[in-house]
Chain A
Amino acid sequence: MSVGIVSYGTYIPKFRIKVEDIAKVWGDNADILSAGLMVNEKSVPDLDEDTVTIAVEAARAAICRSSLDPSRIEAIYTGSESHPYAVKPTSTIVAEAVEATPEMTAADLEFACKAGSAGMQACMGLVQSGMADLGLAIGSDVSQGAPGDALEYTAAAGGAAYIIGNKEEEMVAIIEDTYSFTTDTPDFWRREGMPYPEHGGRFTGEPGYFKHVLGAAKGLMNKLGTSAEDYDYAVFHQPNGKFPSRVAKMLGFSKEKIAPGLVVTRLGNTYSASCLMGIAATLDQAKPGDRIFATAFGSGAGADAFSFRVTDKIDKIRDKAPLVEELLANPVYMDYAMYAKHKGKIKRA
C-alpha cells in the first residue's frame, strides 16, 4: 500500500529578533556570529502563543489546504521539546481544535528536534497497515535558549503539520521510503523542571548531527539505490545554516538543491518543526515529478531520512493555505528587552 503526504500546513509567529540585537546585550561580535551560524534573525512567539497554539494553527492550515473532513484523522502525534504541560497532551487540545475527536488515538512525542518526523513515521505505519485512514503529525516548538548561551541566537518558534494517508490519488507527495539511524548520544538535554537546555558545545557536531544525519541519509540512499543526482531538492535539519550546508555538500547535493528549504537564515531553529518547515518550503516550490530528499535530526540522538516524489496534486492545493515565504514576509522586529519579556526571561514583579 502506498503512503504519502496528503496535505501540509505551517505557522510562524510574526515577531523576529536580529542576531545583532542579541549580540549587543552579551558583548558578542554579531558579524562573526551571523556569518558562522548563517542565521540573521529568528522568530519569537507572541505573549499568548505557545507550542499548542502554534500546532493548532499549523494543523488547521494543513486541513484547510486539502479541504478534507477532519473526522477522517484517526491519529495525531505532536512532537515538541516545549510542550506546555509536563503531563497532559498537546495532541488532545489540537485534536479538539481541529474537530478530529473522539474516534482517534493521540500522543505527544519528544525527541529534541526530530519528534515531528518521528510522528510522521508513526503515522506512516498506522495508515500503511490500515489501522488509520489519515494520520496528523506535527512538529511545534517555542524553543528555549538560556540568556547568553550560544543557543539563544537560534532557538526560535514555529510549527509544521503533515497529514499522512494511504490513497495515492489524495497525495501531494508519495513517501518512497524512510530510514532511521539512532544511538544514545548525550549531545543536548534538558532535565525535568529545568527552564533551559544544556548541550555539549562542539560535541553536538561530529558525534551528534553529522554522524546521525549521514548515517540516516546514506542508509536510505543505499536502501533505495539512489544518489544525490536522483533528487531535485534536499532538506536537512537546520539548527543553523552551516550544518545543513556542510552535510549537503558531503552527500553531493548542490547549494541550489537545498536553497528553497534552507529557511533557518530568516527563521532560526524551530526545533521539532525545523526540517518539516524546510520540506514545506520546498513543497511550496516543487513541481509534479520532483524528488525531494530530507533528513531530520534530533539530539539524544537520531535522524530520520525520507524520500518524497511530488505528484500532480501539489499544484491544485498549494495556494489554499499560507506558503512558508508568506509567513516569513513582513516580520515585526523587537529589541532584546521585548524579546526577553515574550520568552518569559523577565517577569513583572
Chain B
Amino acid sequence: MSVARFWRQQVQRYNLVGNHCRNCDEYYYPPRTTCPFCRRNGEMEEYKFSGKGELVTYTIIHSAAEGFEHQTPYVLGIVKLEEGPRLTSQIIAQPGDVKVGMKVRPVFRKLGESGDKGMLHYGTKFTPA
C-alpha cells in the first residue's frame, strides 16, 4: 500500500471515524462522500464509532496472504458495530474461543508493514469484550 493511500485513511483506521447521514439517520464505515440512499438530499457529518459491536461471522485463516504467514492460524471476522455498519477485521482471540454473536471491543494493533524498509501500518482490530 502506498504511503499516501494509508495516510489518507489513517484517522478512520486508528479511531473508527466514519460518518452519519442526518437526513436518514444511517451510519457508514468507512466514511462515504454522499449518502447512497438520500443522494443529493443527504446531510453527512463525521462520526466516531465507539467500536462496541458483535461478531456476525468469522473464518479461521490457515493459508494466509503475503505478510501474514507467521500469524496463522488467525481469525478474520465481520463485526457489526452498535450503530449498524459492518466491517471486516482480524479478531484477536484463540480460534477455539470465537463464537458468532459474541460481543467485541476495539484494540489498537499493527495491521501490517510494507516490507522491512517500508512504513508500519497501525489501526483497529477487535477482541472479545
Contacts and interface: CB of A to CB of B under 8 A. Distances in A.
Interface of A: 46-50, 52-53, 56-57, 60, 84-85, 88, 93, 96-97, 99, 332, 341, 347-348
Nearest to A59: B108
A88 to B, nearest CB: 8
Given A84-B120, A348-B70, A49 B14 contact: no
24 contacts: A46-B92, A47-B70, A48-B110, A48-B125, A50-B110, A52-B110, A52-B120, A52-B122, A53-B109, A53-B110, A53-B122, A56-B108, A56-B122, A57-B107, A60-B108, A85-B120, A93-B122, A96-B10, A96-B11, A96-B14, A97-B108, A332-B94, A341-B70, A348-B69
Nearest to A85: B120
Contacts of B90: 48
A97 B15 contact: yes
A52 to B, nearest CB: 6
B49 to A, nearest CB: 13
Contacts of B109: 46, 48-49, 53
A47 B107 CA distance: 14
Contacts of A57: 107-108
B128 to A, nearest CB: 11
B4 to A, nearest CB: 15
A71 to B, nearest CB: 13
Given A84-B120, A96-B10, A96-B14, A49 B70 contact: no
A108 to B, nearest CB: 14
Interface string B28-58: 0000000000000000000000000000000
A28 to B, nearest CB: 28
Interface string B51-75: 0000000000000000001110000
A341 B69 CA distance: 12
Nearest to A332: B94
A348 B66 CA distance: 12
With a 10 A CB-CB cut-off, give which of B15, B90, B94, B109 has the most chain A CB atoms.
Answer: B109
Contacts of B69: 348
Contacts of A341: 70
A348 B64 CA distance: 13
A176 B77 CA distance: 50
Contacts of A47: 70-71
Contacts of A347: 70
Closest A-B pairs by Cβ, 3 of them: A56-B108, A48-B110, A48-B109
A53 B108 contact: yes
Nearest to B17: A99
Given A52-B120, A84-B120, A97 B70 contact: no
A3 B71 CA distance: 45
A49 B108 CA distance: 8
B110 A99 contact: no
A347 B116 CA distance: 13
Contacts of A97: 14-15, 108, 122
Contacts of B111: 48
Contacts of A85: 120
Contacts of B14: 96-97
Contacts of B122: 52-53, 56, 93, 97
Contacts of A49: 109-110
Contacts of B10: 96
B6 to A, nearest CB: 12
A102 to B, nearest CB: 12
Interface string B6-21: 0000110011000000
Contacts of B71: 47-48
B120 to A, nearest CB: 6
Nearest to A52: B122
Contacts of B94: 332
Contacts of B92: 46, 48
A93 B11 CA distance: 10
Contacts of A348: 69-70
Nearest to B11: A96
A84 B114 CA distance: 13
With a 10 A CB-CB cut-off, give which of B11, B69, B71, B108 has the most chain A CB atoms.
Answer: B108
B13 to A, nearest CB: 10
A348 B70 CA distance: 7
Contacts of B125: 48
Nearest to B124: A97
